[in-house]
A and B are shown apart, each in its own frame.
Chain A
Amino acid sequence: MDFNETAEEAAFRAEAAAWLAEHAPRHVLPEGVRLDDAEEAQRGRAWQRELYDGGYAGITLPKALGGRGGTAIEAVVFAEEEDKYNLPRGPYVKIGLGMALPVIAKHGSPEQIAQFVEKTLKGELTWCQLFSEPSAGSDLANLRTRAVREGDEWVVNGQKVWSSWAHLTDWGILVARSDPSLPKHKGLTFFVVKMDSPGVEVRPIRQISGASDFNETFLTDVRIPDAQRIGKVGDGWACCMTVLMGERLGTAAHAGAVEGIIHLAAATPSHEGTAYDDGAVRMRLAEALAEQRAEAHFNARLRTMVSRGEDPGAMAGMGKLSFASRNQKMFGLAFELRGLDSLAPSPDDAVMLDAHYEYIWSTVWRIAGGADEVLRNQISERVLGMPGEIRADKNVPFNQL
């Protein structure tokens, strides 16, 4: 065991830091200003192009596919250095890199790889995810969007939801039902669809945060060439698993939120001193901090497994399961620390105003990318070997459910 970096890793970190110091500053987003979505996505493309030109796009992707051919540890080291700058790295680039590229690289044809991979690495193509539906979230395989083959095309009809940034991205990764006479996991097929295709209509969803970065996407007689099918007909579920594994590992690294709440407590007057003097407050903060550090070391253990070619499987969900609830509790605690003033803070109290946003946003982490309850099922079934849930729909043709 060695938590120190090897000489090669330290050299890579120094090289990455030097490159970032030269190229990142002019891409940094302005502090405290919320950019227009289109403007932010445009800046995301520009930064991605900079990464590509510098040789840092797709660090773990093989060189033959236009990536760097580096190690999982190098990707983490680069991300840590990159995180020191407030760069445009939102879903508009991450869905392409973290979901579309893995599924195309693994299941796509050589022509599809040539068509999409390099352009995505360059930021020329951005992606959204068309998976969830109003009645298919945690139970994704319950999706109803139909794909019917007509000659060299598929005609797609249905409704997708939670498609982040679908209003500003070029392409979507789509899973649809191609054969309803098969049980629900088996009749699915995977596609990529151009978001300006006729029949694609993106409507923003008004969220509880007040923002509208998620969407509903309506697909009405959308014609998708068969050349845009990824993998074989009926292999849609396997493609989805590739995507979701990328999502799970992608959410494994979280910055420290607890330190921020400690600073808030120490800056909040209470009795003779501050809220940070209170024993009960200190206990909650210390337990959260201990857990946050454990999660960082746990992620390091997962990276060691991945770098050896071992599959952490459902263990990969443990970090997010821990993080999501802790994050919600910490921003909830921010309100209690500040008391009544937290409900309507002074306009220049940026810390508390940020906590308003984060407490709302924290609900997303417990639902997206594997809801808490789904992760607990996966951990108990795949790590502990406990029985699967009773499934009334198992082996039943979808059209007889």
Chain B
Amino acid sequence: MNFDLSDEQKMLADQARTMLSELSTPDRIRHLIDSGAEWDEPLWRQLADMGFLGAAIPESAGGLGMTELDLGVISEELGRANASLPFFSSIVLAAEAIRLAGSEAQQQAWLPRLASGEIVACFAYAEGPGGWSDSAIKAEFAGGKLTGTKTPVADAGIAQLAVVLCRSGGQQALALVELDQGEVTREKRQSFDELRAHYALHFAGAKAELLGDGGADAGAVIAELFDRAAVQAAFEQVGAAHACLDMARNYAMDRQIFGRSLASFQAIKHKLADLAVAVELARSNAYFAAWAAGEAPAELSAAAAAARLTGLRAFEMGARENLQVHGGIGYTFEGNCHFYYRRERTLAVSLGSRQYWADRLLASVPASDGKAA
């Protein structure tokens, strides 16, 4: 048994952290918001050059063929930096969907271009307040055409390709749609997260193709895709929660109040101790879930759900209490707490909110111990 990252993974984390701390600074992030940018494109090129985009894409499809845990290390650092990048949309969801469900030809056509960063893909699953429950999905694929509206879709403004959860012959299916065509309209929505743009995508008989042979029900693939993506979301939450902890701790150490350091007050110490525990617990679940994704598939579903619940709790506490420790400064644009405060809600509801993961986790426990109660 060995429950730690390898030396190579620690180096990967250092490499990613150093690069992101130099390039994705708070000044840079504020500039992106002020200029209405939808992403940090130069940073995306850097990630591509370092091989991060293709980390978990198979070598045969232009990637590095690394593990979910390696990808998790990168996700954690992206979360820590609160980077404005379509990594979760394009790599964690869309590329993974193509890898899991795509035909050999589809994989060869798209994965190398996603791994190199040449194109960006988005993943369109929800349809308004009904989310992506079976009854909510109305987008219809028939005869090579897709019709319907998906919303909200993250990063759809910069994407050339969409993987779309739709219906085909009454069953759930995943379709590939190139977005640069007249039958697709992108309607920008007001996004709560200022570092991740969201769109409504309208398809009016857009040219599309199903992933894979289109014969099988996509339900099983979708469940696996969501579990795998959930692990990466949990790593992003862990990294971001840890960043909040560090920010709050450092601010409290510098800030003098009532003649002493703010960090010397037990109310602050205990708050941050609780946050530190939440972060380490969340990290432990994320590690196990990433390991299970590669080595113990039967445990992935419950492990991913547990990682989401503890990741959500750690980042929720981190985003809120970091701003609280900063006091009035936390409410200013220059205080930098708001990036995390907004991103936290994005991650909290992406792929399903708390109740969804609670149900998935509880499904792994037999409701009875076999004894008469």
Residues of A within 8 A of B (CB): 1-6, 9, 73, 259-260, 262-264, 266-268, 276, 279, 282-283, 285-287, 289-291, 293-295, 297-298, 300-301, 303-305, 315, 318, 321-322, 351, 373, 375-377, 379-381, 383-387, 389-390
Contacts and interface: CB of A to CB of B under 8 A. Distances in A.
A291 B365 contact: no
A55 to B, nearest CB: 22
Contacts of A1: 2-6, 9, 69, 287, 291
A285 to B, nearest CB: 7
Contact of B1 (A4, A294, A376, A383): A4
B13 to A, nearest CB: 13
A276 B277 CA distance: 28
B249 interface: yes
Nearest to B263: A386
Interface in B277-302: 277, 280-282, 284-285, 287-288, 291-292, 295-296
Contacts of B249: 384-386
Contacts of A259: 365, 369
Contacts of B307: 290
Contact of A286 (B2, B276, B282, B357): B357
Closest 9 CB pairs of A and B: A267-B373, A286-B358, A380-B269, A294-B281, A290-B309, A297-B284, A376-B273, A266-B367, A387-B264
Contacts, number: 166
A301 to B, nearest CB: 5
Nearest to A285: B362
Q: Is the contact region of chain B dominated by helix, strand, or loop, or is it mixed?
A: helix
B229 interface: no
Given A4-B1, A285-B358, A293-B288, 16 more contacts: A1-B3, A2-B1, A266-B368, A266-B373, A267-B368, A285-B362, A290-B307, A294-B282, A295-B284, A303-B1, A318-B277, A375-B273, A377-B266, A377-B269, A380-B272, A384-B249
Given A3-B295, A266-B368, A380-B269, A289 B274 contact: no
A373 B270 contact: yes
B3 A381 contact: no
A353 B373 CA distance: 12
Interface of B: 1-6, 9, 69, 245, 249, 252-253, 261, 263-264, 266, 268-270, 272-274, 276-277, 280-282, 284-285, 287-288, 291-292, 295-296, 303, 305-307, 309-310, 313, 354-355, 357-359, 361-362, 365, 367-369, 371, 373
B4 A264 contact: no
A24 B261 CA distance: 56
A293 B286 CA distance: 11
B3 A262 contact: no
Given A2-B291, A283-B358, A318 B373 contact: no
Contacts of B9: 1
A34 to B, nearest CB: 20
Most interface-central of A3, A266, A295, A351 (chain B CB within 10 A):
A3
Given A282-B358, A285-B362, A289-B362, A315 B280 contact: yes
Nearest to B314: A294
A3 B293 CA distance: 12
A46 to B, nearest CB: 29
Given A297-B284, A303-B1, A304-B2, A290 B310 contact: yes
A384 to B, nearest CB: 5
B54 to A, nearest CB: 22
A328 to B, nearest CB: 15
A289 B373 contact: no
Most interface-central of A266, A287, A294, A304 (chain B CB within 10 A):
A294
B281 A291 contact: yes
Contact of B358 (A287, A300, A301): A287
Contact of A303 (B3, B245, B371): B3
Contact of A289 (B270, B287, B295, B365): B365
Nearest to B305: A290
